[in-house]
Structure 1
Amino acid sequence: MTTLMVIAKEPRPGRVKTRLTPPYTPEEAAALAEASLADTLAVVAASPARRRLLVLDGRPGRWLPAGIEVLPQTGGGLDERLAAAFALCDGPALLIGMDTPQITPELLRPVLLPGGDDPADAWFGPAADGGFWALGLRRPDPRLLRGVPMSTPDTGRIQRRRLTDSGLTVCDLPELRDVDTASDAEAVAARAPGSRFAAAVARFAPAGAR
């Protein structure tokens, strides 16, 4: 089976989701980040996996469910931190972020339980902002991530090209929207109406989030 990893920051005011401020306060932005992370980890806990990892910048909190191993992030740029996360794995691995609380176990199932005739060497989940929300590798190789420019409109295109240029067969997952801005938060909450994240967006809306 596959190792399922989440890379995340501890949801502390002023350290996470700074692009939500304004209209949200730093405390509200951190609460939204915590809700998003809690929703994501709940999906991880409910998904079939050989190993469940949280690769964390910071300390775990009340949002961490049982059964998920916590390991610290390395230093360096995001490409180096993602590469280091894959270096922790000795078999098939899927890495996701904390910014897509609309994910479901069903969305991840094709990667975690691929069919016997599945030809994919890699799975790629594009994000609407040009990045990616998921990356799965049948044989993890940190070199596939090092040097890819992160947090740009071309990040996803460059990362996927890195995979195909390495001779890998890539299976694409559905495109999802990351939560970076207030408009993202509202749109994602609408796609996940029963989530902790949607409840948090609704709770803070009267304070000027819209």
Structure 2
Amino acid sequence: MTTDSFAGHQDTCIIIFAKYPAPNKAKTRLQPALGVEGAARMARQLLLHSIDQAIDTGFSVELCVSPVPTDSCWQAFDLPNSLRWSAQTDGDLGLRMLVASQLALQHFKKVVLVGTDCPSLTVSCIQTAVKQLDQHDAVMVPATDGGYVLLGFTQVDESLFSDIIWSTASVAAVTKQRIAALGWTLALFDPLHDIDEPKDLKHLPSGWLDFHIKVDGS
């Protein structure tokens, strides 16, 4: 990597929003298919996959977590030292994303928000999305369920995250309307699949279900 390209990469921060994948607290909607422990293992695998993909882009990566980074639960993860860590603020998802974005934009020209639900959000997809921010104010990769799996921008506005009913089919549409109202240009990608419910498991990469079987005997 040349010095110039490295400097460009340091203009970008990918923020991954994650909660600790504890049994009965993470991916609970997958429990009918995977059981309690299987759903938790799936949540852990999705988290680690998202981190790996983000780091392999070469951009700065921040893991914005709940509970706080100093909580002992995170010590079990052998994660790269290059990761930046932050704690999610109090409030709903919108406020948490807004605050994290505002803080990151104090140090980076481009900020990209991602979750940990989409195994199809690959290195190349993230890199291509970030590149769009050279010509656009914002970029979005929608989710097939009506949300989004990636949202990036070069500036942030509170309207992108306020008065939105999260985890509903209207999230991406409302966000696109807010971006248009701001007069921003938006690069829009084809939707990708989140893994939230048993019907979504068919969209997992090959081999992912091998170790995520029901363990409750039912």
TM bucket by the smaller chain? 0.7 to 0.9
Q: Which residue of 2 aligns with 1:89?
A: 104
Q: Any idea what SS the aligned residue of 2:96 has?
A: helix
Deviation (angstroms), 1:204? 2.6
Q: Which letter does structure 2 place at the counterpart of 1:14?
A: N
Q: Which residue of 1 aligns with 2:195?
A: 179
1:34 to 44, 54, 59: 44
Q: How does 1:39-54 map to 2 (within 5 A)?
A: 39-49=49-59, 51-54=60-63
Q: Which residue of 2 aligns with 1:164?
A: 180
Q: Any idea what SS the aligned residue of 2:112 has?
A: strand
Unaligned runs of 5+ in 1: none
* Aligned 8 A contact 1:37 1:63 in 2: no
1:136 to 152, 161, 166: 152
Deviation (angstroms), 1:207? 5.5
TM-score, with length taken from structure 1: 0.86
Unaligned runs of 5+ in 2: 1-10
Q: Which residue of 2 aligns with 1:62?
A: 77
1:85 & 1:69 partners in 2: Cα distance? 12
Q: Any idea what SS the aligned residue of 1:168 has?
A: coil
2:117 to 99, 102, 109: 99
Q: Any idea what SS the aligned residue of 2:127 has?
A: helix
Structure 1: 4+ residue segments shifted above 3 A: 205-209
Q: Which residue of 2 aligns with 1:80?
A: 95
Deviation (angstroms), 1:63? 5.2
Deviation (angstroms), 1:19? 0.6
Percentage of pairs with the same residue:
26
Q: Which residue of 1 aligns with 2:16?
A: 6
1:204 to 188, 191, 212: 212
Deviation (angstroms), 1:96? 0.5
Larger Rg: 2
Q: Which letter does structure 1 place at the counterpart of 2:211?
A: R
Q: Any idea what SS the aligned residue of 1:35 has?
A: helix
Q: Between Structure 1 and Structure 2, how many residues are aligned?
A: 198
Q: Which residue of 1 aligns with 2:5?
A: none
Aligned Cα RMSD in Å?
2.0
* Aligned 8 A contact 1:131 1:156 in 2: yes
* Aligned 8 A contact 2:21 2:44 in 1: yes
Deviation (angstroms), 1:38? 0.5
1:83 & 1:136 partners in 2: Cα distance? 12
Deviation (angstroms), 1:208? 9.0
Residue 71 (structure 1) aligned with residue 79 (structure 2): no
Q: Any idea what SS the aligned residue of 1:162 has?
A: helix
Q: 1:110 to 1:23 in 2, by over 3 A?
A: closer
- Larger mean CA deviation between 136-145 and 27-36 belongs to 136-145
1:100 & 1:66 partners in 2: Cα distance? 24
* Aligned 8 A contact 2:35 2:215 in 1: no
Residue 126 (structure 1) aligned with residue 142 (structure 2): yes
Q: Which letter does structure 2 place at the counterpart of 1:25?
A: G
Map Cα deviations across residues 188-207 of structure 1 (whole Å, 9 max, x no partner): 21xx23xxxx43x2223475
Q: Which letter does structure 1 place at the counterpart of 2:47?
A: L
Q: Which letter does structure 1 place at the counterpart of 2:21?
A: P
